[in-house]
Amino acid sequence: MDIEDRLDLGEASEERAVYVITVAAELAGVPPQTLRIYERKGLVRPERTSGNTRRYSKRDIDLLRQIQEMTQELGINLAGVKRIIEMQAELAALRARMQELEDQLRAADAEERREGQIMPLRSVFLPPWVGGSHP
């Protein structure tokens, strides 16, 4: 398993919703009712089991902590927090798109440089006595 596979597994484990609401609330340092409020306001979207039980992921817990920091330490209201979270998601998507376009540009630039290379004639046209074939 190489480093990219491990990173994918790490990312997958951050996305895996395993924490019930009481554990998530404790890890985030808020009462469970606060998590329900955040969900109603659209700040967090926990996964649901077939029995409709909320399940939170590591990424959800990190988001909950960030929400707490913005509301408690920075004094931002929930509407402002929601807008900040939306803008952060948009920024991440734009950065990913920019990286994708930069990769495409680098690939196109490399291809253009390869196509513009001057090839020595001897590698293109070999005289009949080179290569072992005689008429």
CA pair distance 120, 90, nearest whole angstrom: 50
Residues 91-135 have pLDDT tens digits of: 999 999 999 999 999 998 888 777 766 666 555 566 667 665 555
Tokens encoding 24: 């998530």
pTM of the model: 0.64
Collect contacts of 32-37 with beta carbons under 8 A, ≥24 apart.
Answer: 35/64, 37/78
Beta pairing class for 54-55 and 47-48: antiparallel
pLDDT in tens, 1-43: 554 444 454 555 677 888 999 999 999 999 999 999 999 999 9
**Nearest-angstrom CA–CA distance, 115 and 22:** 61
